[in-house]
Amino acid sequence: MAAAAIHQFAECITCHAWSPDHSMIAFCPNNNEVHIYKFFTDKWEKLHVLSKHDQIVSGIDWSRSSNKIVTVSHDRNSYVWTQEGHDWVPTLVILKLNRAALCVQWSPKENKFAVGSGAKSVCICYYEQDNNWWISKVVRKKHESSVTSVAWHPNNILLATTSTDGKCRVFSTFIKGVDTRGSQASTSTDWKFGEQIAQLDLSSMWAFGVRWSPSGKTLAYAGHNSMIYFVDDVEASPAAQNIALHDLPLRDILFLSEKTVIGVGFDCNPMIFSADETGLWSFVRYLDERKVTTSTSRASQLSEALGKLYGQSKQAAGSDTVEPSKPRGGAHENCITCIVPLRKGNERIVKRFSTSGMDGKIVVWDSENHIDIKK
């Protein structure tokens, strides 16, 4: 089994993030708190509870170099937490939002972070030393609906977003005084803040889980129509590929290398995708190998479908209880909503990663010994 460790922390987990040395983990147990646990010898112990938010915490990211935690919540607020001694001290972030904050991610250089929101906008936040707070510049009037995910290009300037309007967009986030204009041939520093570089109208449904490949040459994201999309050369002349899934939609994506991707979502089982020598992407297999015999698998799927059908009809007739669907038998038993890489140093290939979901589990996966990772 590819799952190296399975930890049951809560009934449901919204999102999670790891400390730089992977000794601590921060997660939201589907409420307004962030719990920080540390592993001691043979068990996890709760060290801190960050409880500044008023509503569900929808996004967490833990910076690898500066050791800061950023959180966002449905209460429209964001905080940057800095460890001072044994305590985590919050610093206010000025977001200027009138709707919920939905996702967050530190930039590669960790001098900025991006916040996607239900206000059809993206906040690019940076630190202002004079006032000791984080302020934001907002990318407005570009999205037609809520921003579901954000992803930074390795150059620290370009930002990709997905939205429930079905589109994936790429913006410039260059901020004078925060970013520097390099001498490289790339034109990324010549674009103005908020300038839209590309708009991809590939999905007819909500879009989720956008990610860049390690080199920034390939962009991938998922659609709620059970599709995954791969786009090369987004800046110049985008070339897109799509793969239709036979099962349920994905919610998040992670590049293990330039040619290997893991997708997670409503099927409760990580999916492996890879590109061949010509750059053609395809589905390889499920990562979590479940011991289900061929003769009984189709029968169980049919019985589960019929159970849901008749369960709904009985409920409509006045029944107070409905028998829950049976566990799928893998590491996760409900939708996987978050996938996080566990990198060491400057590794280009992700050898370990973790997933969390609505079953309250955090699962650590060993990709090095169970996946043929193409470089």
Lowest pLDDT segment from 162-171, 194-203, 289-298? 289-298
Residue among 50, 46, 48, 94 nearest 71 (CA) = 50
The SS3 assignment for 190 reads: helix
Q: Please report, as a single letter, which amino acid is at residue 96.
A: K
Is 308 a member of any domain? no
**Helix (H) and strand (E) counts in the chain:** 1, 28
What pLDDT does 24 receive? Answer: 96
Residue with tokens 């390795």: 154
- Residue 41: pLDDT band with limits 50, 70, 90: confident
- Residue 183: pLDDT band with limits 50, 70, 90: very low
> CA dist 113 to 30, 62, 69, 272, 317, Å?
23, 11, 11, 29, 50
Any idea what the CATH number is for the domain that residue 16 is in?
2.130.10.10
What pLDDT does 373 receive? Answer: 67
* Rounded average pLDDT over 58-67: 96
Helix (H) or strand (E) run with residue 85 in it: none
Domain range spanning residue 70? 2-180+190-289+328-366
Is 304 a member of any domain? no
Give the C-alpha separation, 121 to 141, whole Å.
Answer: 7
Residue among 375, 364, 370 nearest 4 (CA) = 364
* pTM of the full structure: 0.86
> CA dist 142 to 161, 163, 168, 233, Å?
11, 11, 11, 21
DSSP state letters, 163-184 = ETTS-EEEEE---BTTB---SS
Lowest pLDDT segment from 181-185, 227-231, 245-249, 292-296? 292-296
**Phi and psi, residue 234, nearest 5°:** -65, -40
pLDDT tens sequence across 75-107: 999 999 999 999 999 998 999 899 999 999 999
Give the C-alpha separation, 219 to 159, whole Å.
Answer: 11
* Rounded average pLDDT over 226-238: 91
* Rounded average pLDDT over 239-260: 94
Taking the CB of residue 102, how many other CB atoms lie within 10 A of it? 21
* Rounded average pLDDT over 167-193: 80
Is 311 a member of any domain? no
Residue 217, exposed/middle/buried by CB under 10 A (0-12, 13-18, 19+)?
middle
pLDDT tens sequence across 1-12: 578 899 999 999
- Report the DSSP beta bridge partners of residue 28: 15
What pLDDT does 214 receive? Answer: 94
Is 375 a member of any domain? no
Q: Please report, as a single letter, which amino acid is at residue 276.
A: D
> CA dist 315 to 300, 308, 311, 354, Å?
22, 10, 6, 37
Is 305 a member of any domain? no
Percent over 70 (pLDDT), the chain: 85
Q: Pick the more confident residue, 3 or 173.
A: 173
Please tell me the number of Cα atoms within 13 Å of 349 on its side-chain side: 12
List the Cα angle 257/262/266 in 5-degree steps. Answer: 165
Is 87 a member of any domain? yes
What pLDDT does 97 receive? Answer: 93
Does 148 have pLDDT greater than 80?
yes
Does 15 have pLDDT greater than 80?
yes
Give the total number of structural domains in the chain.
1
Please tell me the number of Cα atoms within 13 Å of 1 on its side-chain side: 14
Q: Please report, as a single letter, which amino acid is at residue 263.
A: G
Taking the CB of residue 132, how many other CB atoms lie within 10 A of it? 9
Percent over 90 (pLDDT), the chain: 70
Is 28 a member of any domain? yes
Is 67 a member of any domain? yes
Give the C-alpha separation, 88 to 99, whole Å.
Answer: 26
Chain centroid to Cα 2, Å, comes to 20
Six token digits for residue 149: 């995910």
What pLDDT does 329 receive? Answer: 58
pLDDT tens sequence across 329-339: 589 999 999 99
> CA dist 302 to 144, 294, 298, Å?
39, 13, 6
* Rounded average pLDDT over 339-349: 87
